[in-house]
Chain A
Amino acid sequence: MKILDFFRRTKAPGAKAGEDLFKTKYQSFKKLLDANNRALEIMSRLETVSQGDFVFDIQYIRARSDAILDVCQVIIDELNVLGNNRYTALIPIYEDIKARLHQELAGSSPPGGDAWTLPLSRVDRRLLAEVGGKNANLGEIKNRLQLPTPEGFVVTAEAYRQVLAENDLTERLEAFFQEVDPDNLADLTAKSRLLREQILQARIPARLAQEVQQRYEELAQALGRPPRLALRSSGLYEDQEFSFAGQFLTKLNVSLENFFPNYLEVLASQWSPTALVYLAQKGLARRELAMSVGCLAMVAAQASGVLFTEDPAGSHTGVMVVEAAWGLGPTVVEGTLVPDRYLLAKEGEIAILEQHLSPKTFRLAAAPNGEGLATEAVPDSDQVQAALTTEELLVLGRHGRRLEEYFGEPQDIEFAVDAGGQVIILQARPLTVSRPRPEALPPERLAAHPVLIDQGTAACFGVAAGPVFIIERDEDLSRFPEGAVLVARYTSARYGSVIHKAAALVVDIGSATSHLAILAREFKIPALVDTEKATQVLETGLEITVDADRQRVYQGRVAELLGPAAPQKGPLLAETPLYATLRRVLRFITPLHLTDPKLMDFKPESCRTLHDLTRFAHQTGIAEMFELGEQARRQEAYMVRLKTPIPLNLYLIDLGGGLRREVRGQFVSPEDILSVPMRALWRGVSHPEVSWAGPIAIDVKGLYSVVSRSLSAAAPQQGDFWLRTLAIVSKNYLNFSSRLGYHFATIDAYVSEVRNDNYLSFRFKGGAADEYRRGLRVRFLGAILQKLDFDIEIIGDLVVARLGKYPQPLMEDKLDLLGRLMACARQRDMVMGDARIIDWYVQAFLEGNYRFEGEPR
């Protein structure tokens, strides 16, 4: 191996340690680069696959996730070798990402657990397959984030399977799926009713009855009273990628005595026509329906509502939206009254930006002497009072922000405020946001079309046309025609069974946060809510155009608004559970938060994904190689000197493949250089048009500033004017540090055929003249470097320039030009006395006038 031979020939005694250090570090750096490339390749591939159109399986996701975890491990290890274990802070971050990624994948495994019930205190996302999405999220909120949630327990999907098995329902369900046609709503409704009746009559296995009794007693003991329960459905995919918003049942205020009839009702709800159609539309299979049920102690809610950590209608940015009403939550999520609405500032200190209070004439409460809920009139004096206090809103806002940060995406959160004013989180799920379309149409072009409605709130942006179909009762749903505009009084979640067939949705009352609005966004159906009068001014059969972007409904088809292509609807590959799993896994891999190494948060603690880790390690690895250059300056033992008339006093250290093998003795000539970046740089340094010889004519002020600086402490002595320049080279690597006169320049570059590995980093600092003149030179350098496509940063008289990932020939060109630029910038500070002439110098350089002939005086 060349490097060893070379060191043996030239090194002084005791240099062995230095030699090993270089070799080890350089090799670590190369491994880091290789691993980084591999990581980037895997990420790109996964991102491409996740866009849709690909067929893969869960093994593929597992294998690729493991592969990228392995290369990231290599990256972290090598960076620590390079940096003498200064980056061990990356290890726990990596381990945490790894654990969470594995949790996500474990959640996608076929069900393996055999617990029938679990206390909520033991639930988290690792148990996703057994406790369902809603319970898993609530477990995370309770046990990891430790935010206030109700106490309770979970009846698992395994218990559900046992109930089916014990009642011979498994086969009946199979048969049902063989026979049913999801496009025939009447048939579906009839068959699903039969099936639900069978489930409602199911016998409860003795073990389940015992376990529920025991869990309830434990809960009662913990609370100090026998609680009423809220039974909440928690489907396997519910509240993950697929909202199933409002599709499954929640039963409130349930006593232990009536636990199982209610439990069975919740199970049966997943066979409702609405849920079955949703399932078919989303390409989910029947096994996805395994249902877990969350059994939570009822919160005696003084007020309840929903918090969206982004404006779901997309009208505002940087805000959170809260809707709240008196009593229990269904009034808000089912859209049966217009709730209070608040906008909170999301960034910085949480603040209330807007508050719209509505008359809340009634509230839902636990029925005082029985099961279920009762509607109560709200006293006149309270109707227009805000349902939430300022303090409650601020606490809620802070909880919301934490939940969004933790789950890594905007959240749709249901909450309640108890009698003591404590804000309690009932559930959180990913939020679907509708964004307005950017193009605007001048209103005058629409003047010919009669406007039927010009008010309301956009729940999902977009424009669509079709005949009106007013739904007055549930029976109307089975007659709902494909492509009609669904018009109704309320935003009932039951209308979800036909939403996929609807061209648009228009309702009198209800908000953009209701379940039906969530479904509309999921299916990308333009939706207008809160129009107050849709069912009065529209009639079934009337052709209308719904313009949710401008909150208008026009009579007839408005071609100008409708555009050429209808949006694609129906099941898409990218919406299948497997794609959903891939996207969830990618949340830990591809997002990049560490974008700018200049920013303060460019540190291990800020890494949240594997992409962040690789970005940090790559950038820091390059910085460490700079350090290596510095260390080499102090190790004189195994250097050779370059024979050249250019007064650079250039010494070289070869780490392998950077110099011709036959080199002997203390000197090498430029022809002996094999290092790709060094050769390229040398082409520029030795360019026939650039001049290194002789002093540059300086003006009197320039000379004065040099003299005064020489008198200050930091200036080098006269004899050191040409200090040594050092280049550490290998076949593809160069670390070049030169002190020319009063300035200091370093180049760190890697140039190979692998474009992704290539980078070039240049720093230039100092000078002999005063601060003003040095500043001028930095501006001169910065302007040229920018023209040469470098990303530049100027701090005082330091200019830092970086570029990367160019093909080898272009990288070589940039190094060549840097070589010329260093020569030209030499002492240029002393002749630059006037900011106005910088442009002249920049232009001269770019034109190849490296001697600056015709220089303005």
Chain B
Amino acid sequence: MSISPKEYDNDFPIAWCPGCGNFPILKAVKQSLAELGLKPHEVIVVSGIGQSGKLCHYMRGNFFNGLHGRSLPVATGIRVADPSIPVIVIGGDGDTYGEGGNHFIHALRRNLNVTLITHNNQVFGLTLGQASPTTERGFVTKVQSHGVFLTPFNPLAMAALMQAPFVARGFAGRLPHLTGLIKEALQVKGFSLVDVLQPCVTFDRVHTFKWYEERVYDIGEEGHDPEDMTSAILKSREWGNRVPIGVFYRNKKTTSFEDQLAPLKKGPLKNLKLDPSKAAELVETFL
């Protein structure tokens, strides 16, 4: 039973640049939650630091806006406390794949049941325009003054290789498509990644909305089989004249982290009564 996305509106002033690719992502997040009938107090948004990290302030909802790069560990603890509440993790490319790169690897290994939405604009916005882990080779910044010569990180290939349940890429310029991806991701049991191509209107004069509009296409419409990992990985390497978006990989044969934890089978841990006298049996073992 869907609700109005307006339920998610708040009046906190938005500090993003006019025309920023973050606006449509915010809209897509609100829209997909509303379509799933979730009320603001029934969902938790966890975010880090960077322009993306502010997203949770611009909508209603429970939120934990933590440290740079550390959203996935915070989300892990939140899921342990109560796996009945859906968790969205919002991060940027620097936040998720740079500072938090290790946690990204291990959240994939855990198959944590969260939806990770990465605002991937291939640049550091908040610190005014340095290269990020996903910046294309050759891109010149004030720090990478000879152009980036490091290999860009490929989050889709890694997630597919780790057999994540849901691996997708959206584009901030295609709102209904992106909303559909986020909605599907939220219904997946296990780790879901929605990497979102998002033009930085201030620091990237190359990858503009127009640049993407001319290149993006949905791989589903061209016969890609999302159960085929090899094909998903190969597709994730396509970049240039054509830029693929859509569902790259699906894996239904997984068990989430939360479902493997025996104490959670009794229901949310936070609801279980605490009884200190139960520790008596432990004390006995030291006699």
Are A and B genuine complex partners?
Answer: no
